[in-house]
Amino acid sequence: MRITKIIPTENWILSIVSDDGRIGQFDVSPFLEYEAFEPLKDHGEFIKIHNGGYFVEWDCGADLSADTIEARWQIVGNDKKTNIEH
């Protein structure tokens, strides 16, 4: 899976669009117990996210692979016309 768009939302949820048009949500909150993700408890830090296509990374250095996201996300829709690079 390649991530084409990612939007941090409330309650530590990432709204994600994949290159095949799947739209889903990924809950980051279970990861907040790990030291690398602790800075993300501050929502101001959580929204400082960068899309690397096959991973997402925050300014604090925490990151998640697209494989990890794909294994745990909740699909909420599909937009096969999606062609957004972000």
Could you state, in order of their start, the residue ranges of all structural domains in the chain?
A: 3-78
Whole-prediction pTM value? 0.88
Structure confidence by residue, pLDDT tens digits, 40-79: 999 999 999 999 999 999 999 999 999 999 999 999 999 7
pLDDT bin (cut points 50, 70, 90) of residue 84 is: very low
Mean pLDDT over the full length of the chain: 93
- The CATH class given to the 3-78 domain equals alpha beta
> In this structure, how many other beta carbons lie within 10 angstroms of the beta carbon of residue 26?
21
Structure confidence by residue, pLDDT tens digits, 17-29: 999 999 999 999 9
- The region that residue 40 occupies, defined by phi over 0 for left and psi between -120 and 50 for alpha, beta otherwise, is alpha
**Looking at residue 81, what is its pLDDT?**
58
